A = this chain, B = another copy of it.
């Protein structure tokens, strides 16, 4: 049944990241974030409200007494932590970490009911409420994360215990849900189970899980509406009264059957998790219609509803999409998890069709919003990633209540931090994929891989200077020469890529350039070198003229990185700064800046305000400008020094020399 035409990611265990930019992140996940999250899950982080997540499992397992505490989806925090641990153990053994994980798995297994059901909230708090409030209560969402964790941990260790828990849980779900008489024709309010079941199917080859994933997707949004039926059945009992999850169908993308959805509506994380599951099922079942639905939603998101940082979700209300071209910088929601979900979706689309546009979006979200979500110490996180902040307005203009100017230690709803962990710990599996005799390179991240092509072992060593410089070198190590196709992605941010093979320039023929990938089909010899040069100019990015927020403004991008202004480098009142369209500026590496990064300096103008005094409005007054230099740092690095204003989009204005006071 599986569609063999997709390209398959190289498994994480075949990839070792060795990269000046990314290796420190992965070390940070291993050495700081995952241990810190373990402390958080065990209520040992003093500055934060206790998570209770491990405690809940222990109580459900009968190992301790007490009550459930936390959000209805608290279990998922443990699962996401365990999934990250699985990836870390795949990267390198760690007997101490594995021991902790095994102990957690023992507790989880004990908390599982004999029929396979597993959810500490319902076990402890609503034992008779199982499957009665799918719209709000995240049972299948939590199950999905448990399954993802199980697959990751099994892949890492080969230990079957947690995979067995996951299969029994999935079987229990399959007994309860389905089109057959007596089963519930429902689906979870928060999509996640769908993509998890595909992972379980892929590792077990059990068709049942694939069918169940497809059932959940296709049942979504059908009439009569399941959420209305279950709402009536439970007499209108509501878990989150403030959110109207059961009533507002678009919040959970159940306003229409998924194949009829053309625009991304509602809670942004749910949309992209759903799309990832749709793409999986489309690929696994050769479902062209479902793939077309994925393409519609993809097109809507990336061409009308995505921030330049790869963030999605334009408003705090419902953590949701709003409407086409509505991309306010300062009230953005732009949740870290939503960009992570967009990466999941992009990766699956990229497997189905190797088009650089998918990798461009994946890269945009990864290098900008995702890593902005975490501080450089690995202990502070952004849930919301605005493109402009004005700290003075905090607590005063309540439209910004959701916006923080500093990363927070942990959250009551702690979805984002463990999501960053599991993504970065598994980053190796995003770099390459293989389809028949073609090796695709999607991301330029220094790494070493081992794979078999045409039954011969090949090692590829990648050296990358990204994101600071566009030099990437590949070396092939193998026993003897071998013919295969090496497909290299040409990122959209570079207009003038060059390729050299063994120091000989390789002409980028149109014929070998398909959808943004160069296909180099030749017989490769041991020690062959490929040098990809991606010159990085400073790009003045503009927004589509239908975006109200970006009219008359530009954002600077260099390579994959979007840049921003910070108050610490530029003084306050950042909105008074303007740059001229003709300025190229220059970029310089500052080794002392936040561990070393390229800063952009750009001649700029500042509106003077001192001559205005008490006037609020004046007629026919000439702006007074002074010349200055604007300093930009990569967006992902903002808010690592001090609290202050930040701004991605800057006004672009032409000036006559006589206007400017030097």
Binding site for B on A (CB under 8 A): 299, 302-304, 306, 308, 314-318, 322-323, 326, 328, 331, 390, 392-393, 396-399, 493, 495, 539-548, 551-552, 555, 557, 573, 575-576, 578, 607-609, 612, 614-621, 623, 651, 653-656
Contact = CB atoms under 8 A, between A and B. Distances in A.
5 contacts: A322-B397, A326-B396, A540-B619, A544-B612, A547-B616
A302 B616 CA distance: 7
Nearest to A398: B317
Contacts of A655: 654
A482 to B, nearest CB: 38
Given A322-B398, A542-B618, A545-B609, 18 more contacts: A303-B614, A306-B616, A308-B616, A315-B399, A322-B396, A323-B393, A328-B399, A399-B399, A540-B620, A541-B618, A542-B617, A542-B623, A543-B616, A551-B576, A552-B578, A552-B651, A552-B653, A654-B655
Contacts of A540: 619-620
Contacts of A548: 390, 575
A617 B541 contact: yes
Contacts of A575: 548, 551
B317 A399 contact: yes
B544 A615 contact: yes
A474 to B, nearest CB: 26
Nearest to A610: B545
A303 B303 CA distance: 41
A546 B316 CA distance: 26
List the number of copies, as a whole number.
Answer: 2
A636 B540 CA distance: 39
A623 B552 CA distance: 9
A356 B574 CA distance: 34
> Which residue of A578, A609, A620, A655 has the most chain B CB atoms within 10 A of its CB atom?
A620
A654 B654 contact: yes
- For the complex of A and B, the 3 pairs showing the least CB-CB separation, nearest first, are A545-B609, A317-B398, A539-B619
Given A396-B326, A399-B315, A619 B656 contact: no
B616 A314 contact: no
Contacts of A620: 539-540
A484 to B, nearest CB: 33
Contacts of A392: 323
Given A397-B322, A545-B612, A607 B551 contact: yes
A322 B392 CA distance: 10
Nearest to A357: B614
Contact of A617 (B544, B608, B656): B544
> Which residue of A304, A390, A392, A393 has the most chain B CB atoms within 10 A of its CB atom?
A393
Nearest to A659: B654
Nearest to A299: B614
Contact of A621 (B326, B542, B607, B621): B542
Contacts of A617: 308, 541-544, 555
Nearest to A549: B575
Nearest to A572: B546
> Which residue of A299, A555, A651 has the most chain B CB atoms within 10 A of its CB atom?
A651
A326 B576 contact: no
A513 B614 CA distance: 21
A398 B551 contact: no
A314 B399 CA distance: 10
Contacts of A393: 322-323, 326
Contact of A326 (B314, B316, B397, B551): B397
Contacts of A552: 552, 578, 651, 653
Contacts of A543: 616-617
Contact of A609 (B396, B544, B573, B607): B544
A396 B323 contact: yes
A492 to B, nearest CB: 8
Given A314-B397, A323-B392, A398-B317, A544 B651 contact: no
A303 B615 contact: yes
A334 B614 CA distance: 21
Nearest to A548: B575
A96 to B, nearest CB: 45
Given A331-B399, A397-B322, A397-B323, A619 B557 contact: yes
B544 A397 contact: no
Contacts of A326: 393, 396-397
B614 A493 contact: no
A614 B304 CA distance: 8
> Which residue of A299, A544, A616 has the most chain B CB atoms within 10 A of its CB atom?
A616
A315 B544 contact: no
Nearest to A492: B619
Contacts of A623: 542, 545
A552 B550 CA distance: 13
B616 A315 contact: no
Contacts of A315: 397-399
A166 B306 CA distance: 60
A559 B617 CA distance: 14
A450 to B, nearest CB: 37
A529 to B, nearest CB: 30
Contacts of A616: 302-304, 306, 308, 543-544, 547
